[in-house]
Structures are given as structure tokens and as C-alpha cells.
């Protein structure tokens, strides 16, 4: 049986060569990560993002699909498909990246 998949929101800061748009102060990434528990999913996600040249600052966990459904979240089919892919590949999937533009 595959590990559960957790929904994570990762805030990243700036780092030289990170590929974020000019003027961005960081970004928010929605990730789906498999792991035995949420702590393992967070560790794997942070390690992969660091390897990709990003600077993770904070991670907020939103739980598994079942936990999110129990809390009343509506989860579209596209999101469920990405979660299934993360489980099947035992992987971290970055589903969305929103650059953050702050004031100077």
C-alpha cells in the first residue's frame, strides 16, 4: 500500500539563481508529497526544493486527502489526479507556484 499523500504549502525566499521572477520577494508553492507521515513528507519536500535551488522558509501542512475531505474542503479532480501521481511515484509534486511581490 502506498504512503499517504499530504498537501503542503511551502513559502520560499530568494536565492541567487532560483528562477523566480525579477522583483519577487519569494513564492508560495502548493505541493503534494507522499510520506509515512507528514513530518517525512515535509522533510522530503524541503530537501527536493533545496536541491532545485530554492530557499524554503516555512511549510504548512493541510493533511491527507481524507483529512481535507473530513474538514469540508472541495478537491477538484485535477488536484486528486496530482495526489494520485505523487502516491504512485512516491514523489513530491509541485502543483502551483505563486510569486510574491513585496514592498521595498
How many separate domains does the chain show?
Answer: 1
Domain, as residue range, for 33: 5-100
pLDDT tier at 102 (50, 70, 90 boundaries)? Answer: confident
pLDDT at 1: 72
Does position 2 have pLDDT exceeding 90, yes or no?
no
Nearest to 38 by CA among 20, 60, 22: 60
CA dist., res. 96 & res. 104, Å (int): 25
Task: List 10's β-bridge partners, or say none.
Answer: 29, 59
Nine cell digits for residue 5: 499523500
pLDDT tier at 103 (50, 70, 90 boundaries)? Answer: low
Contact 83, 14 (CB under 8 A): no
Amino acid at each position: 500500500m502506498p504512503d499517504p499523500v499530504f498537501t503542503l504549502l511551502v513559502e520560499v525566499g530568494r536565492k541567487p539563481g532560483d528562477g523566480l521572477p525579477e522583483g519577487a520577494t519569494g513564492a508560495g508553492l502548493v505541493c503534494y508529497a507522499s510520506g509515512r507521515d507528514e513530518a517525512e513528507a515535509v522533510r522530503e519536500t524541503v530537501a527536493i526544493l533545496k536541491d532545485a535551488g530554492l530557499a524554503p522558509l516555512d511549510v504548512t501542512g493541510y493533511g491527507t486527502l481524507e483529512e481535507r475531505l473530513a474538514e469540508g474542503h472541495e478537491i477538484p479532480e485535477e488536484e486528486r489526479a496530482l495526489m494520485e501521481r505523487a502516491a504512485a511515484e512516491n514523489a513530491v509534486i509541485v502543483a502551483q507556484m505563486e510569486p510574491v511581490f513585496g514592498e521595498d
